Structure 1
Amino acid sequence: MQSPSSPTKRVSSPLGRFSSILVLLGVILLWYGISALSLFPEYAFPSPASVFVSFKEELTAGRLLNDIVASLWRVAIGFVLAAGMGIPIGLWLGQHLQARQALVPMLNFFRFLSPLAWIPFAILWFHIGDKPAIFLIFMATFFPMTLATMVAVAGIPSIYFRVAKDYNYSGVELLTHITFPAVLPQVITALRMSYGIAWVVIVAAEMVGCQDGLGYGIWEARNGLRLDSAVCYMMVIGSLGMGIDRLLAQLTNLPAVRWGYER
């Protein structure tokens, strides 16, 4: 058992944040140094200054903002659909051994199948636009989210359910008072991991099935030999991914989630 003040909840120190800033500055200086030495031609290894100019151009033209909104929309829809289906199914499978034994092999098969393998089918079924990208996000995140939730439920100590039986908990009460609070930490971790997968897949999906989005922006920059623009989009993708992951991590501060950590 861990108390709420246990090391499970780590608070970042000023020294840690300062170290992160130093590492970032070091990477930028290294980048600038390599570009200043002209080890590679400018078109193959753009300098920080050229990337900054490209960022300003894309932002002023409105393309970057439009692509950000398009990608966030697709990821949000696919991710919410996967979570809305995967978590309840995982909760159910975690409580039914026979169903787990029957369905887990199939779920694992699709989990290990690269979501990019579905690209030809997504384009044939949904053509181009939002739908194929949303489908790929769903296929990338549904199976790991389902399996992670199932494993978390199956790992709940049996004493929890014996106590729940003493209090005559069953059905919805059992789910809301015992099962779901107990697995919330693992579910949040699964959400963060699945979101990371979704953010990677959306870039590839937009390269082949969309006419806008951050992935399409990189593909368009590649076709135009504008690697400065491609690096600009890469930096935006990484920054947005980190930002949204931090937002998901804030869910661990909920009282119900801390209860799950204490078990």
Structure 2
Amino acid sequence: MEKLKKIAAPLALIASLIALWWVVVVQTESVIFPTPLQVVTGTLELAADGILWEHIVASLLRVGAGFLLAILVALPLGLWMGRVEGAYRTLNPLFQIMRPISPIAWIPLAILWFGVGNVSPIFLIFLASVFPMIVQTASGVHTIEKRYLRAAENFGVSRSTLFRQVIIPAVLPEIIVGMRIGLGVAWLVVVAAEMIALRSGLGYLIMDSRNAGNRYDLVIAGMLIIGVIGLVLDGLMRFLESLKSVRWRYGR
């Protein structure tokens, strides 16, 4: 019953928006903008042909590859910057300059360097994800209470043990936050990159539907699928936040 109460309000809001959408399209007698039923019909058509699943898998694989590369680079680098003051002073200004630059602005350079293919969007996803995780991880190390580090040093623990049993558990909540931010931006970037430089993925599906006979039902379907997948990905990150090893940092 408690779970039903939590989802009742969002479901009611979504249902109201769909009803409003339907009424507006019918009342305006639009011949271009689709009704919700037309969007559902178009989605089922793509799903039956298998085309929809191919585009979804293509986008998810690109995001997965770029995001994994970002994790492999960002976490060790962020931990190092958090522990070594000289590294932080040297690298942080550069990352703070790079971080606000929209990954979309890198698309022309990505195409120039890597051509039209999967490497370009993976590179863009890497850029979108790596800086939030580096900054958040380094910030998390800086927020560790000094008494924990002093206590470990007093017991004579090795550097590897200090990282494994003190620093990483303490900074893990901040790492998850950085991953959640990075994954959200990565999902935005892959769709934009696919609209410009690729021939597969949800971004390409939207542009191809627009160009191939103004199939706006499929355009809207692609947009909604992007939103739903984004919600699911964010839910996965929120699940990580609920793990016992992470939950201690949050109020609930």
Please indicate the TM-score interval, normalised by the length of the shorter structure: over 0.9
1:199 CA displacement: 0.4
Partner Cα separation in structure 2 for residue 82 and residue 56 of structure 1: 35
Query: 2:56 is matched with which residue?
Result: 68
Query: 1:3 is matched with which residue?
Result: none
Partner Cα separation in structure 2 for residue 95 and residue 191 of structure 1: 20
Partner Cα separation in structure 2 for residue 208 and residue 93 of structure 1: 36
Partner Cα separation in structure 1 for residue 160 and residue 245 of structure 2: 16
SS of residue paired to 1:113: coil
SS of residue paired to 2:28: coil
Query: 1:170 is matched with which residue?
Result: 158
- Pairing 1:57–2:72 present: no
Structure 2 stretches lacking a partner, 5+ long: none
Residues matched between the structures, number: 249
Alpha-carbon displacement from aligned partner over 1:146-203 (angstroms, at most 9, x marks no partner): 0111111111111110111122223211111111111111111111111000000000
Query: 2:28 is matched with which residue?
Result: 38
Q: Say which structure, 1 or 2, has more relative contact order (CA 8 Å, 6+ apart).
A: 1
1:248 CA displacement: 1.8
1:14 CA displacement: 2.8
1:261 CA displacement: 4.4
Alpha-carbon displacement from aligned partner over 1:200-219 (angstroms, at most 9, x marks no partner): 00000111111100010011
**Kept after mapping to 2: 8 A contact 1:184/1:260:** no
- Pairing 1:234–2:223 present: yes
Partner Cα separation in structure 2 for residue 180 and residue 70 of structure 1: 33
**Kept after mapping to 2: 8 A contact 1:115/1:139:** yes
Aligned identity (percent) is 39
Query: 1:21 is matched with which residue?
Result: 11
Alpha-carbon displacement from aligned partner over 1:10-60 (angstroms, at most 9, x marks no partner): xx7432211111111111111111111126x231x2111111111111111
1:221 CA displacement: 1.4
TM-score normalised by length of structure 1:
0.91
**Kept after mapping to 2: 8 A contact 1:252/1:258:** yes
Partner Cα separation in structure 2 for residue 35 and residue 221 of structure 1: 20
Partner Cα separation in structure 2 for residue 95 and residue 80 of structure 1: 23
Q: Which stretch of the first structure deviates more once superposed, 102-111 or 30-39?
A: 30-39
Alpha-carbon displacement from aligned partner over 1:105-159 (angstroms, at most 9, x marks no partner): 1001110111111111111111112110100000111111101111111111111
1:63 CA displacement: 1.1
How do 1:235-250 and structure 2 match up within 5 A? 235-250=224-239
1:180 partner letter: I
Partner Cα separation in structure 2 for residue 124 and residue 61 of structure 1: 34
**Kept after mapping to 2: 8 A contact 1:181/1:260:** no
Q: RMSD of aligned C-alpha atoms?
A: 1.4
- Pairing 1:126–2:117 present: no
How do 1:114-193 and structure 2 match up within 5 A? 114-193=102-181
Partner Cα separation in structure 2 for residue 164 and residue 259 of structure 1: 20
**Kept after mapping to 2: 8 A contact 1:140/1:197:** yes
SS of residue paired to 1:112: coil
1:252 CA displacement: 2.0
How do 1:188-227 and structure 2 match up within 5 A? 188-224=176-212, 225-227=214-216
